[in-house]
């Protein structure tokens, strides 16, 4: 994202891939190095976003696919304008759980909408804002489901989708990484948490050195 001296890192991947764990490890490493870090997420990284999150993830009943995509884009527009943008202007490092790539994968491929239209919608909503680095934690959906089952907590609307939905989502994420190799870092999420964290830290170190 242009403007400011901050660094914007997003983490992507299917449900159960370990985004929260890796966000925690990255944040701790950066804070120990004296960096100012903002942790956030989509949907729900702002007060308005939390209301939208409750709708898209916990609403009981169907939401039309296009309505779902528009709700995510609305959350994203407000989030970038009021949370991410100001943090980057301050020079903070933003670590964010999900961004527009999730909409392309989940609403584009998962809901079988036009992926390019879904991406363009988010780019319009955010005035073209893209992260400096997107870490894709790639994991077989069957392994991810085993992890989610072991967590023993209720599934949200997307986690509860059938396996073929999550297979399409994974394929879409990998296609996005192929299309934008400079922005993406693809990591095998079946690796150990410490091994994944080292790979991520190496890339972030290079980005910080380049500044």
Query: Residue 209 to residues 20, 36, 110, 197, 205: CA-CA distances in angstroms?
Result: 25, 16, 37, 18, 6
Cα-flanking dihedrals φ and ψ of residue 82, to 5°? Answer: -110, -15
Give the CATH fold of the 7-210 domain. Rossmann fold (3.40.50)
pLDDT digit string (tens) for the chain, length 211 residues: 545 689 999 999 998 899 999 999 999 999 999 999 999 999 999 999 999 999 988 887 889 999 999 999 999 999 999 999 999 999 999 999 999 999 999 999 989 999 999 999 999 999 999 999 999 999 999 998 898 888 877 787 778 788 899 999 999 999 999 999 999 999 999 999 999 999 999 999 999 999 8
What is the pLDDT, as a whole number, of residue 205?
98
Alpha-carbon distance values, 141 to 5, 123, 127, 164, 172 (Å): 37, 28, 32, 9, 13
Q: Is residue 26 within 8 Å of 201, Cβ to Cβ?
A: yes
Q: Give me the residue spans of the domains in the chain.
A: 7-210
């Amino acid at each position: 994202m242009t403007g400011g001296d901050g660094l914007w890192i997003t983490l992507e991947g299917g449900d159960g891939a370990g985004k929260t764990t890796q966000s925690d490890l990255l944040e701790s490493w950066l804070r120990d190095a004296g960096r100012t870090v903002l942790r956030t997420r989509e949907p729900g990284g702002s007060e308005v976003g939390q209301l939208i999150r409750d709708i898209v993830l916990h609403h009981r009943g169907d939401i039309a696919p296009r309505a779902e995509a528009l709700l995510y884009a609305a959350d994203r527009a407000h989030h970038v304008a009021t949370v991410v943008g100001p943090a980057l202007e301050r020079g903070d490092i933003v670590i964010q759980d999900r961004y527009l790539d999730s909409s392309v994968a989940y609403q584009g491929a998962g809901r079988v909408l036009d992926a390019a239209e879904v991406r363009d919608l988010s780019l319009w909503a955010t005035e073209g804002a893209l992260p400096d680095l997107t870490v894709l934690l790639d994991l077989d959906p069957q392994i991810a489901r085993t992890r989610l089952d072991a967590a023993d907590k209720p599934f949200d609307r997307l986690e509860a989708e059938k396996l073929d939905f999550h297979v399409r989502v994974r394929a879409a994420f990998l296609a996005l990484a192929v299309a934008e190799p400079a922005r993406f870092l693809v990591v095998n999420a079946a690796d150990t948490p410490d091994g994944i964290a080292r790979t991520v830290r190496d890339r972030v170190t290079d980005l910080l050195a380049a500044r």
